[in-house]
Structure 1
Amino acid sequence: MLTAITGINWGDEGKGRMVDLLSEDYDIVVRYQGGNNAGHTVINEKGKFVLNLLPSGILREDVVNVMGNGVVIDLKHLNEEMGRLIDAGIKITPENLKISDRAIICMPYHVQQDCLEEERLKDAKYGSTRRGIAPVYGDKYMKKGIRMGDLLDSEEALRAKIEGITEWKNLSIEKGYGAEKIDAEEMFNWIKEYGFKLRDHICDTGLFIDNAAKEGKNIMFEAQLGALRDIDFGIYPFTSSSSTIAAYAPIGSGVPNRKLDCTVGIMKAYSTCVGEGPFTAELFGEEAEHLRKAGNEYGAATGRPRRVGGFDVLASRYGVRMQGADEIALTKLDVLSYMDEIPVCTGYAVNGEKLDEFPIGEKLEKAEPVYEYVKGWHEDISGCRKMEDLPEAAREYVKYIEEAVGCKIKYVSVGAAREEYIVVPD
């Protein structure tokens, strides 16, 4: 069974929590794109964990975790993240964490370049997390990247590669932005300090996954962010720099010869967004602040307050289509329990015209939300474990969303802890 767990909206939907939950039935969990620019928060019996780079399956001792070729890896950040988990009693070894030899390394100069460009853009900035993600993906496609497999080559070959790339990079860092010149020796020493200790984890992960699939292993592919942050199909240019959709999972994992059996789309019971760009359903003022506090909506990677809004029908229906979702996990339904009436963005209006489909470009920038309010339930639902345990209004809300996006809701999260969820019967 090959299953992708993907975000339907702008990211921060609760994918890590669902991967941690569903990984009980899987042998391997693979991260297939993105870097340390977003985070997954997982709460289980071992504690609360924020994972930026590591697959969420790392919290299960019997699961093998893979960082695929589509991931970009900040070596220093990965070492620190692994260290925090090891200190918390989580086992991490070359047997349960494998890193693709084709994954690109996010270097300190990528972070520097990211910050310099955001500062240059000023008010026109893209809302980058300033962690080097756009520059490192840019270098990957410019064929100027340093890959994890390079750490297994001779030091002479690695040093030569770093010297050549830093000479090229200084044309923009030093002579373009006027910043301090990158020192190749410093970059080599940085890689030695943080990269060499990871060498036992580096391997041909595509071959490992393909062999596992031949053996009938259950493999889960974990995405970062959501469909609306995809480089091709998201709210460009306010997107990530990688492909966040399920169709990319086999490619970013090293097994483009494999096909997915199932895609589970993760979707919140309301809308959230971190960073810049159009967010039509956004709420403001006290209504937004109450929702933000109720859902603890602050970025796992950055700590930034998330923008919040009611459930967005157009954006979610579009996200379901882009992800090819077979079923939905609806998260944070419990957050809405304080509301007497629940806001739902049922459509967009542009110059008086109501749109039926999610737009791009100027139409998206100008879109105004069309809001309706549905009845709330105003009671604690965190103890519910069956659909019939939910108040009638909560059941009706789940049914309303399911029909609006055109995809079956299979799981309903009613709390942050691992066991606080409902499986919806067929």
Structure 2
Amino acid sequence: MLTAVTGINWGDEGKGRVIDLLAEHADIVVRYQGGNNAGHTVVNKQGKFVLNLLPSGILHPDVVCVLGDGMVIDLNHLSNEIAQIRTQDVSVSPKNLKLSTRATISMPWHKIQDELEEERLSKSGAAFGSTKRGIAYAYSDKYRKKTIRLGDLLHLDEENVQARLKTMLEAKNLELAGCYHQEPMSLSALLSWCRQKAAKYAPYITDTGAFLEDALSKGKRVVLEAQLGAMRDIDYGIFPYTSSSSTISAYGPIGAGIPGASLDHVVGVLKAYSTCVGAGPFVAEKAMNGEWTEMVRKYGGEYGAATGRPRRVGPFDAVASRYGLKCQHADKIALTKLDVLSIMDQIPVITGYQYKNAVTNVFDPTENLEKYTPVVKMLPGWKTDISNCRSYDELPVNAKRYINFLEDMLRHEIQFVSVGAERNQYLLNGKWL
């Protein structure tokens, strides 16, 4: 069985928590796009884990994790991430972590370029809100054919690999010196860096596509893990305030390394309210005052998993969520952080967007969304702790009504609801996977 877990909104919806639960019954978990510019937070009996590159399945000792073809991988960051979770008694070895030969390496200069360009843009107020981790530049060089892949580390002594390294370094030095007045980097230093990484990661690097094809042919359960959400997709998101890769479920098999495979299920993850990290249009934040925003941020712990930046906060946005659901083509929906709303007397939901004298319920990322204002409907709160509920029937009446209202807005059943950060703090409503 092949299942993709994807974000319906701007990212940070709680995908890591859902993947962690699915991994209990999975054999393999695969990251299929992105890099270390976002993260998944998982809380279990071993503690709290913030994972930027490693799939959430790494916390399950019997699950094999894969960093797939479609990723850009910062090997320095990966080393630090592995070292950190090992201090929390999580085992990482070539037995349970496999790196695709086709995955692109995020080179040290990509991060430097990102920082320099974001700094330049910030002077004129035109910054993108980048995480400054070099993701856009790694993907740019991938499509310019001016970077190397993990498999190249296994062939550093071959003439064609060394020739490519020389060519790409010459081009990069021209960019950094000409645009940002940086000192040139040497080929010997680059080769030394590559050899160090090859020595460390050679046992992990393999043809993960063949590994996954074999696993699926044997009936293994494979979960594909997405980073960020539909609004950050390079093609269907709020361009140019997007990530640099495809966050859409349809790309999952391609980015995983099994382009001929078909998805059996797509789980779309939504938060019970809206959050966003980074620049770009975010209509939801116009709905409520600063006091409401700070309250939700405080009780929801709304700070970026990768950057620690405070997240922008707003009510559940049914307009954007319908669009994200359509993009992800999800057949299952998981709703997270419902418990955060327990503090409210009334709960706002965005049911439409207004521009001038017209109201629309259609989300169009090509429009100037900065000019739109939200149409808000207030629903009664339940004002009681729901973190101990373990079945849908145990929820307060108004909590059920809130879920039902969202289902009506989405035109889709919500099957999974989380009521806390712990592994057992969830309930099922209807048929799950």
TM-score, L = length of structure 2: 0.96
- Offset at 1:284? 4.2
Choose 54-63 or 114-123, whichever is displaced more: 114-123
Partner of 2:214: 211
Choose 245-254 or 396-405, whichever is displaced more: 396-405
Partner of 2:30: 30
Contact 1:325–1:407 (Cα < 8 Å) also in 2: no
- Offset at 1:88? 1.4
Q: Following superposition of structure 1 onto structure 2, how do residues 80-119 of structure 1 map, counting pairs within 5 Å?
A: 80-119=80-119
Count of matched residue pairs: 426
Partners of 1:42 and 1:21 in 2: CA distance = 10
Q: Following superposition of structure 1 onto structure 2, how do residues 388-399 of structure 1 map, counting pairs within 5 Å?
A: 388-399=393-404
**Per-residue CA distance 1:13-63 (angstroms, 9 max, x = gap):** 000111001111111100000000001000011111000000100000010
Contact 2:241–2:280 (Cα < 8 Å) also in 1: yes
Q: Following superposition of structure 1 onto structure 2, how do residues 150-189 of structure 1 map, counting pairs within 5 Å?
A: 150-155=152-157, 157=159, 158-189=161-192
Partner of 2:130: 128
Contact 1:320–1:407 (Cα < 8 Å) also in 2: no
Contact 1:79–1:194 (Cα < 8 Å) also in 2: no
- Offset at 1:206? 0.5
Partner of 1:367: 372
Partner of 1:331: 336
Q: Following superposition of structure 1 onto structure 2, how do residues 289-300 of structure 1 map, counting pairs within 5 Å?
A: 289-300=294-305
Partner of 2:244: 241
Q: Following superposition of structure 1 onto structure 2, how do residues 307-386 of structure 1 map, counting pairs within 5 Å?
A: 307-386=312-391
Partners of 1:203 and 1:63 in 2: CA distance = 17
Contact 1:387–1:422 (Cα < 8 Å) also in 2: yes
Q: Following superposition of structure 1 onto structure 2, how do residues 183-202 of structure 1 map, counting pairs within 5 Å?
A: 183-202=186-205
Partner of 2:310: 305
Structure 1 gap ranges (5+): none
Partners of 1:399 and 1:317 in 2: CA distance = 15
**Aligned with 2:202: secondary structure?**
helix
**Aligned with 2:115: secondary structure?**
helix
Indicate the RMSD between aligned Cα atoms, in angstroms: 1.2
Identity score, percent? 56
Partners of 2:81 and 2:340 in 1: CA distance = 29
Partner of 2:420: 415
Partners of 2:137 and 2:128 in 1: CA distance = 13
Contact 2:156–2:195 (Cα < 8 Å) also in 1: no
Read off the aligned partner of 1:244 and give its amino acid letter.
T
Partner of 1:41: 41
| 1:59 and 2:59 matched | yes
Contact 1:267–1:330 (Cα < 8 Å) also in 2: yes
**Per-residue CA distance 1:218-265 (angstroms, 9 max, x = gap):** 110000000000000000000000000100000001101000000000
Partners of 1:378 and 1:210 in 2: CA distance = 49
Partners of 2:301 and 2:198 in 1: CA distance = 35
- Offset at 1:362? 4.1
Partners of 1:185 and 1:353 in 2: CA distance = 62
Structure 2 gap ranges (5+): none
Structure 2 residue aligned with 1:224, among 227, 248, 251? 227
- Offset at 1:156? 5.2
**Aligned with 1:20: secondary structure?**
helix
Runs of 4+ in 1 over 3 A off after TM superposition: 154-160
- Offset at 1:350? 1.2
Partner of 2:10: 10
Partner of 2:20: 20
Read off the aligned partner of 1:56 and give its amino acid letter.
S
Contact 1:6–1:244 (Cα < 8 Å) also in 2: yes
- Offset at 1:195? 4.2
Contact 2:31–2:224 (Cα < 8 Å) also in 1: yes
Partners of 1:185 and 1:12 in 2: CA distance = 40
Partners of 2:156 and 2:297 in 1: CA distance = 51
Partners of 1:298 and 1:192 in 2: CA distance = 37
Partner of 1:144: 146
Read off the aligned partner of 2:77 and give its amino acid letter.
H
Contact 1:75–1:191 (Cα < 8 Å) also in 2: no
| 1:265 and 2:254 matched | no
Contact 1:74–1:107 (Cα < 8 Å) also in 2: yes
**Aligned with 1:176: secondary structure?**
helix
- Offset at 1:159? 4.1
Choose 167-176 or 190-199, whichever is displaced more: 190-199
- Offset at 1:194? 3.6
Partners of 1:345 and 1:300 in 2: CA distance = 26
Partners of 2:408 and 2:62 in 1: CA distance = 37
Read off the aligned partner of 1:148 and give its amino acid letter.
L
Partners of 2:133 and 2:372 in 1: CA distance = 30
Contact 2:303–2:311 (Cα < 8 Å) also in 1: yes
Partner of 2:282: 279
- Offset at 1:176? 1.9
